[in-house]
Structure 1
Amino acid sequence: MTRLYRVLSLSFALLAMPGCATRQVALAPPPPPMVPVPLPPSLPMPAGAHPGMAIPVMLGDGSYPTPNRDLSAAASVWHLRAGLNFAALACRGPQAGIIVANYNAMLTGRKTVLAEAERSLAAEYRAIGGAVWRDSYDDAMTRLYNYYAQAPARTALCDTADRILAEAVTVPAESFTLFAAARLPELDRSFTDFYRAYDAWRTQRQPSGPIIALVSNTAQRLSPRIEIDPAIFRMP
């Protein structure tokens, strides 16, 4: 028996032995199919906004600085009157007539309260402004009206002013100061809600360059069409 024959015979014998068959290797199960995670819906830019517009920087408590924060009782009354005055001058559409009518009714019915608030506010400016208090007062009132004149918040301002004026004509004179302090923040939300929506839209974006601050809108000049008692607006 040749050596080659013995090697072949041994090989066939090993193949014939039980347990010597080729082992099957267990395969890992295929990975589960990839399920795409939907992206959160993109927030639309608020109506009236544009990229790069300037808005106040949010404060640490999540609020926004406005001219209507941290006011005295007299300032709250006068700042509310200013906002309602702007609404009566600037609001258009079906609600315009009732806004003007209720504003004039408020001026007539709360003449004494409004005049006293204006005198008290002027005294506050005198106390801290000295000889130039009037300039400081006029500058503050200009900033206040420019604040109310921000076009993107116009619709919300008019809706809120309409509701506040409808209530204002029913409030007793002795309760009007408290009423003004409670309603002024509601008028302010016409603007701060817009700031918040714009900040949310801006945060979701990845700006490719610096944000450009643009000059804010100035108060719109409109021909007065409201009957107003001049005594209310006369400084002492």
Structure 2
Amino acid sequence: MSVVRTLAVAVATAVAVAATPASAQFFLKPYDTSGERVTGAEPGIATQALPGATPEELRAALMWNLRAGLNVAALQCQFEPSLLTLGNYNALLFNHADELKKGYDTLGKYFVRTAGSAKAGQTALDQFGTRVYSGFSTVSAQLGFCQAAGEIGQEAIFVPRGYLGEFAEMRMRKLRNSLVAYGEQQFGRNVNWMRPVRLYEFGNPKCWRKGLWQVKRCGAFPS
């Protein structure tokens, strides 16, 4: 069975499970954050550019971006327990521990190679990890991010061991897209501009002289 077909079966299984009574539903119609498969070379998709990285190294970077994103969701999204972000993240760590370690080692070798020494490589790897986590901080888009992370974490449970890198390629665009706030899509919102109402200082004695409103001081008297 091909890699794509294997993952398609896993995702279909996850969708079937998700078709049971809904978990968190923040919007009547949420924004569709799904996107095309990525390689890791796309700007911003792996947090930072990795010049000279091999396809295996790019895949490792995507896998660790996915892990970091679901880790952030496990911490930030517990306000809605039905998303299961914490449990799904722990399951990811357990089911794909070997692949995650291999990916981490692959990234470590990349940074040692490009930085020129083991010490500089470790520093670069640490900085990369910090940037990855910082890249998933969200405030205004928290609801959309949590919903997308919940769906991706649910799908990840059914990904066979050894295929997490390919799964990251298929879902990283969706996770990145969810960091932009969109809100409710069922109803359009038109925000009409209104001229602010001027507040006249009727109690200001400087605006009056012998019972007459002083136009030069306080503007035209409201009609």
Short-chain TM bin:
0.5 to 0.7
| 1:127 matched to 2:113 | yes
Query: 2:74, 2:86 within 8 Å by CA — same for their partners in 1?
Result: yes
| 1:163 matched to 2:151 | yes
Partner of 1:185: 173
When residues 70 and 91 of structure 1 are mapped into structure 2, their CA distance, relative to the original with a 3 A threshold, is same
When residues 153 and 67 of structure 1 are mapped into structure 2, their CA distance, relative to the original with a 3 A threshold, is farther
Quick one: which of 100, 114, 139 aligns to 1:151?
A: 139
Partner of 1:113: 99
Number of paired residues? 133
Per-residue CA deviation, residues 182-220 of structure 1 (Å, 9 max, x unaligned), is 1111100012x449xxxxxxxxx9xxxxxxxxxxxxxxx
SS in 2 for 1:167: helix
Query: 1:103, 1:165 within 8 Å by CA — same for their partners in 2?
Result: yes
Q: Which amino acid aligns with 2:112?
A: R
Partner of 1:80: 66
SS in 2 for 1:103: helix
Q: Quote how far apart the aligned CAs of 1:158 are.
A: 1.0
Query: 1:76, 1:180 within 8 Å by CA — same for their partners in 2?
Result: yes
When residues 164 and 64 of structure 1 are mapped into structure 2, their CA distance, relative to the original with a 3 A threshold, is same
Superposition CA RMSD, Å: 2.5
SS in 2 for 1:162: helix
1:1-236 correspondence runs (5 A): 65=44, 67-68=46-47, 72-95=58-81, 98-131=84-117, 132-191=120-179, 193-194=180-181
**Percent identity (aligned):** 30
Distance of 1:64 and 1:179 partners within structure 2: 19
Q: Which runs of 5+ in 2 are unaligned?
A: 1-41, 51-57, 183-192, 194-223
Distance of 1:64 and 1:156 partners within structure 2: 22
> 4+ residue stretches of structure 1 with deviation over 6 A?
none
Q: Which runs of 5+ in 1 are unaligned?
A: 1-62, 196-204, 206-236
Distance of 1:137 and 1:151 partners within structure 2: 26
Q: Quote how far apart the aligned CAs of 1:96 are.
A: 6.2
TM-score (norm 1): 0.51
Distance of 1:178 and 1:97 partners within structure 2: 23
Query: 1:68, 1:188 within 8 Å by CA — same for their partners in 2?
Result: no
TM-score (norm 2): 0.54
Query: 1:78, 1:117 within 8 Å by CA — same for their partners in 2?
Result: yes
Distance of 2:107 and 2:43 partners within structure 1: 23
